[in-house]
Structure 1
Amino acid sequence: MVEAVIWDFGGVLTTSPFEAFARFERERGLPADIIRRTNALNHHENAWAQFERAELDIEAFDSLFAEESLALGAEVRGKDVLPLLSGDLRPEMVEALRRVKANFKTGCITNNLPANAIGSHSGRSLYVAEVMALFDHIIESAKIGLRKPDPRIYRMMTEQLNVDPKDCVYLDDLGVNLKPAREMGMTTIKVVDAPQAIAELEAATGLALR
């Protein structure tokens, strides 16, 4: 029986930043996937991981990311990557979240960056705030110093929502972040695109979400 649906934010409720990464690499003549490969190497302790736990300031992140990417073949400044992160909200996913909220508990676990790392876009921020209000509880990596896939962050969410992991559905666009949730007993959905994710969520919850 489903009691709660827990969501990742970027790449789930918004379009994936991977598309922006690929476009940036093409425009700059960089090796394909250099940004994703830099993020993936030593993914618990690299510049990205430390920044999402708020262990680095923006200047230290900028230079460490440049070092790490250069070691893989091409220098990319961390500050150049940050503007690529704010994807567009997917209205159909937001609508699915609204319908889920009317029936189940909702949570959001997001690996995010320290406040003001990307800069503010006031119109977008207002809309994002409306979406975030649909969650009963939100856990942000940069605020608690833990990030996915650390199993503790998922346990914190189930404790806050007062639910058994076996009664939860968890959506994320990264397989590495789904694994700990699945091992805890959650039903997991890897988000490839909105129609696929919504269809799987409808099957898991028994709700009509479109």
Structure 2
Amino acid sequence: MVTGVLIDWGGVLTTSMADSIAKWIDADRIDGEHYRAVMRELVEVAYSGEDEENAIHALERGELDGAAFERDLAARLLTLDGMPPVAEGLLTRMFAGFERAEAMYDMLREVRGHGVKTCLLSNSWSNTYERDGWDEVFDAVVISGEVGMRKPEPRIFHHALDLIGQPGESCVFIDDIEANIVAARALGIAGIHHREPDTTILELESLLRLPLRRA
């Protein structure tokens, strides 16, 4: 019986990361191919599970502030003019295209209405979260930069489970990054790899044996 739902924010409770990044690439005239090569290298290290660390680890734990990360990332990137992009506000511009995925918020309200505990479990990039209405959908909130831990580290999952008072074996974790799902499953937490709201809600309905889609 599932008694707890842990859920990511960016790309899960919002529209996709890829869509937001694509809008930013167009607006800032970023060399998209070069950007993808740079980020591929950074992200592979950040989510590989190996001991090697980079700026993403520090940013997500809150050990590196956003402005410092922006300067580091801007120095690695190029615009179509062959120059680095403006560093100041880089992260804000990257995530400006995020929009709330209202179907996912509706689903969480239904979940809580049936007595299932919910917890936001998000890796932050020094970004601002729109927290309006969070009391209606979350029993607990865990944001990596605020707690000094990050996914896929086991300790952040244990912290989230402790906050909602549920064992891992009774919980499900929803995220759009596969490495985080793998880490959760290693702790006995069921995982749903989010790609779009309809399929995620359908999978969660099956696990909870509850109707979660509003007419």
Deviations 1:93-138 (A, max 9, x none): 1110000011201111111134xx55x8xxxx3xx32035421111
For the 8 Å contact 1:48–1:65, the answer to whether it is kept is: no
For the 8 Å contact 1:94–1:131, the answer to whether it is kept is: no
Q: Which moved more, 1:56-65 or 1:43-52?
A: 43-52
Structure 1 counterpart SS, 2:2: coil
Classify 1:196/1:171 alpha carbon distance in 2 versus 1 (closer, same or farther; 3 Å): same
Deviations 1:116-170 (A, max 9, x none): x55x8xxxx3xx3203542111111111111111110001111222211111011
Match of 1:201 in 2: 204
Structure 2 counterpart SS, 1:170: strand
- Name stretches of at least 5 consecutive residues in structure 2 with no aligned partner: 48-52
Match of 1:91 in 2: 102
Distance 2:173 2:109 in 1: 16
1:75 positional shift? 4.6
Distance 1:63 1:49 in 2: 16
- The residue correspondences of 1:174-185 to structure 2 (distance < 5 A) are 174-185=177-188
- The residue correspondences of 1:96-135 to structure 2 (distance < 5 A) are 96-103=107-114, 104-114=116-126, 117=127, 125=130, 128-135=131-138
1:179 positional shift? 1.0
What TM-score does the superposition give when structure 1 sets the normalisation length? 0.83
Classify 1:36/1:206 alpha carbon distance in 2 versus 1 (closer, same or farther; 3 Å): farther
Distance 1:24 1:82 in 2: 10
Classify 1:77/1:176 alpha carbon distance in 2 versus 1 (closer, same or farther; 3 Å): farther
Q: How many residues align?
A: 199
Structure 1 counterpart SS, 2:172: strand
Distance 1:178 1:133 in 2: 25
Give the alignment's Cα RMSD to 1 decimal. 2.4
Structure 1 counterpart SS, 2:132: helix
What TM-score does the superposition give when structure 2 sets the normalisation length? 0.82
- The residue type paired with residue 82 of structure 1 is T
1:58 positional shift? 3.0
- Percent same amino acid at aligned positions? 30
Structure 1 counterpart SS, 2:166: coil
